[in-house]
């Protein structure tokens, strides 16, 4: 019986090639096979040019690879190669469906390791120079997404927190703004919307919660929305 390879779930970070971890880059250079998400940039894939590359991207509203099919391909890759990288945008353990993939590997008896990456919320905080926490203003942060598994409610309860960060917040961000106003958040609460974080086509918009609730400019890349007093732009006097 052939010896099974090892699978590394690697976080690619928010997009920029040089924001992947040193360990992640080293594993890409060693990999024989890389299964990568839609949000992984071509520049990132230059780090694993020697590997068999398999696109298993998932994008909201677009044709994509079903999670079960990704699990099957990942297990099959480990049966052919000694080092397999499952390359995920951001961090594998934040909205990366890592639990489903780890379960599939465990069920197949395949060894694995998780290599963390910079999740987009932290990169967006750095890009906008707005800390997610701020002494005397914000002592709690919550990450959430409106994307749900089949059979779950489409509108999960919004967490009570000082700073609220919505992943995959394109079209859903408008509804979030409306719900926050209904829950009593002040209309003038500052909001930052960042599209294509850390990439050359990055776009940052500042607005209030009331403006967010009325609509957003159409986005062509991944969108992150940050809401709360910690997002208020600092004066430079």
- Domain at 134, CATH number: 3.30.950.10
Can you give the pLDDT at residue 1? 47
CATH number at 49 reads: 3.40.1010.10
The two three-digit tokens of residue 43, written as one number: 């520049």
End position of a domain, from candidates 115, 140, 158: 115
Task: Enumerate residues 6+ apart whose C-beta is below 8 A from 169.
Answer: 145, 146, 176, 193, 223, 224, 225
Average pLDDT rounded to a whole number, residues 75-94: 97
Same domain flag for 203 and 129? yes
Same domain for 91 and 131, yes or no, is no
Q: Same structural domain for residues 10 and 24?
A: yes
User: For residue 218, what pLDDT band results from cuts at 50, 70 and 90?
Assistant: confident
Query: Both 106 and 125 in a single domain?
Result: no
Picking from 76, 96, 115, the residue at the C-terminal end of a domain is 115
CA 161 to CA 94: how far, in whole Å?
18
Q: How far is CA 96 from the centre of its chain?
A: 7
* CA atoms of 151 and 129, how far apart (whole Å): 38
pLDDT of residue 220: 82
Whether residues 82 and 145 share a domain: the answer is: no
**Domain assignment of residue 80, yes or no:** yes
**Whether residue 25 is found in the same domain as residue 39:** yes
Between 10 and 60, residue with greater pLDDT? 10
Stronger pLDDT, 217 or 93, i.e. the higher one:
93
* Lowest mean pLDDT segment, chosen from 148-152, 188-192, 228-232: 148-152
236 pLDDT exceeds 70? no
Residue 154 has pLDDT above 80, yes or no: no
| Sign of the CA dihedral with 52 first, then 80, 11, and 145 last | positive
Q: Is residue 236 part of a domain?
A: no
Specify if 73 maps to a domain: yes
What mean pLDDT is predicted for residues 230-236?
87
pLDDT tens digits, one per residue of 46-66 = 999 999 999 998 655 554 568
The yes-or-no verdict on residue 7 having pLDDT over 60 is yes
Picking from 115, 138, 167, the residue at the C-terminal end of a domain is 115
If one counts every other C-beta atom within 10 angstroms of the C-beta of residue 143, the result is 18
What is the domain extent for residue 183?
120-231
Q: Which residues are catalytic?
A: 37, 58
Number of domains in the chain: 2
Q: For residues 6 and 100, what is the distance between their CA atoms, to the nearest angstrom?
A: 17
Residue 145 belongs to some domain of the structure: yes
Please indicate, yes or no, whether residues 217 and 126 belong to a single structural domain of this protein.
yes
Evaluate if residue 149 carries a pLDDT over 80: no
Residue 1 lies in a domain: no
Co-location of 105 and 24 in the same domain: yes
> What is this structure's pTM?
0.89
Confidence label for 208 from pLDDT (cuts 50, 70 and 90): very high
Q: Which of 55-59, 141-145, 157-161 shows the lowest mean pLDDT across its residues?
A: 55-59
């Amino acid at each position: 019986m052939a010896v099974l390879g090892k699978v590394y779930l690697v976080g690619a970070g928010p997009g920029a090639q040089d924001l992947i971890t040193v360990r992640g880059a080293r594993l890409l250079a060693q990999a024989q096979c890389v299964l990568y998400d839609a949000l992984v940039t071509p520049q990132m894939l230059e780090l694993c040019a020697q590997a068999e590359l398999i696109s298993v991207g998932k994008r909201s509203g677009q044709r994509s690879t079903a999670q079960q099919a990704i699990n099957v391909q990942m297990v099959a890759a480990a049966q052919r190669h000694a080092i397999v990288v499952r390359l995920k945008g951001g961090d594998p353990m934040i909205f990366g469906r890592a639990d489903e993939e780890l379960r599939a590997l465990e069920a197949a008896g395949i060894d694995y390791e998780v290599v963390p990456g910079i999740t987009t919320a932290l990169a967006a905080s750095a890009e906008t120079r707005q800390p997610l926490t701020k002494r005397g203003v914000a002592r709690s942060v919550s990450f959430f997404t409106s994307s749900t598994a089949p059979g779950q409610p489409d509108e999960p309860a919004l967490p009570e927190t000082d700073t609220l960060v919505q992943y995959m917040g394109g079209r859903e961000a408008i509804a979030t703004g409306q719900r926050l106003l209904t829950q009593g958040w002040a209309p003038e609460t500052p909001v930052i919307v960042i599209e294509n974080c850390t990439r050359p086509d990055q776009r940052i918009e500042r607005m209030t919660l009331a403006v967010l609730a009325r609509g957003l400019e159409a986005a062509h890349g991944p969108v992150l929305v940050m809401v709360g007093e910690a997002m208020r732009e600092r004066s430079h006097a």
